[in-house]
Amino acid sequence: MSTPTDRSTVDAADTVEAVDAATDRSAHSLRGPAAEPRRRSGGGRGFPSALRGGGRVAGLDGLRTVAVVLVIVYHVKPDLVPGGSVGVDVFFTLSGFVITRLLIAEYARTGGIGLRSFYKRRWLRLGPAMLTMCAVTALLSLALPLPLFDGAWKAAVLAAVSVVNLVRAGESGPYSDLTAPLSHTWSLGVEEQFYLAWPIVLLLLLRHTTARRALAWVAALCVLPLLWRLALWDPSAAHRIYNGPDTRADQLLIGALLAVVLARLRADDPRLALLGRWAGRLCWPAFALLGLVAWQIPIADTSAWNPVWYTAGFMIAALLTATVVATLDLLPGSWPSRLLSLTALSWIGRNLSYGMYLWHYPVIRLLSDLGVEDDQLLPMGMVATVAAALASYALVERPLMRRG
């Protein structure tokens, strides 16, 4: 009987609601005296294109759908896509881009970043749905004699406080059974820890240096995790590197760097046109390389690829993803944008991708425990996952986001 393997997954959580783009004029915004002259000077406080567009990018939502489907297939049929965990790399970079774009847009409007409001929005978007999934998993563990859910309540507690990645990072040998029932939530831990730290770091950069220097600092920060992985690399450190928030930070920061670059360039700046032109040319090769990784490179298994992937590979995947993201953001009329902006793809990515991510792993484990045959596990798991995601969206996520 096939069971979902203990492999990495994707954080499809970062679906940005309209409230995220609203102007935050909360009394809790951190604005220093230096913000006043910037507010009067206009020009987006050094980010003239921070408010460019202002709406959702449908192609980015479609990219979320592709990534989360890839991961579901990977967890059920790893032989089909042995490198399917590259979906997590895609989502880290996408999340860094979207979050930073929102933060810079708020700074350009108001001269500050409302940290308390930001954390509240992130909690409303991510927390209740996560806690619901954890509670259901814990109840299954305690109420039913299901082998794959034995002791799952412990994993549910760790997932609820977003520390699964830290536990896994500390395991030098094979992953233990402690986090196995909800091991997919490791990537949520990485992103939550990034969300806690990055707005503060970005705000400090924006308040205490110029926009140009802030761009240089973000670029420098992107390099540090690569150097850190090179220093750490050893086969026994694979779990530490794969799950650590510090060793995966460059993937999120490269997305952040792209957001800063696009906000810095005016609409009539020839460098912006050049960037869009080259992104468009390189988009299909970037897609092809990411697909080749998913098809051929067993990222989460011990192989000859490990020394390369666990050091430079993370950054390479992030740069390929950033190329795709730049194309989708700058060239809405391009073929990649049109394809990923199809109504069904963009709707699922916008509304269901987070729920699909949360529920697919426990749903597949449940179906496997109930005796579903291997050849039926993928289609039945996909249907059940979408049903669970729809319920999560309708009953938990959407009502709370409206209240928020």
Q: Would you tell me how many other CB atoms lie within 10 Å of the CB of residue 282?
A: 17
- Report how far apart the first and last C-alpha atoms of the chain are (Å, whole number): 43
Q: What integer pLDDT is reported at residue 346 of this predicted model?
A: 96
Q: What integer pLDDT is reported at residue 158 of this predicted model?
A: 96
> Three-state DSSP class for 30?
strand
Q: What integer pLDDT is reported at residue 146 of this predicted model?
A: 84
Instruction: List CB contacts of 318: < 8 A, sequence separation 6 or more.
Output: 89, 92, 93, 250, 251, 254, 255
Assigned token pair, 262:
């696009």
> Three-state DSSP class for 9?
coil
* Residue numbers in the chain where pLDDT is lower than 70: 1-43, 53-55, 404
- Is 324:254 a contact under the CB 8 Å cutoff? no
Q: What is the dihedral of CA 204, 105, 358, 179, to 10 degrees?
A: -10
Instruction: List CB contacts of 210: < 8 A, sequence separation 6 or more.
Output: 46
C-alpha Rg value of the chain to the nearest Å: 21
The model carries a pTM of 0.88
User: Longest Cα pair distance anywhere in the chain, in angstroms?
Assistant: 67
Give the whole-angstrom CA distance, residue 158 versus residue 246. 19
Q: What angle do CA 174, 176, 179 make, to 5 degrees?
A: 130
Domain ranges of the chain: 18-403
**Of 90, 14, 51, nearest to 328 (Cα)?**
90
The CA-atom distances, in angstroms, between 116 and each of 41, 90, 105, 397, 401 are 26, 28, 17, 20, 16
> Three-state DSSP class for 1?
coil
Q: State whether the Cα torsion 111-14-305-258 is positive or negative.
A: negative
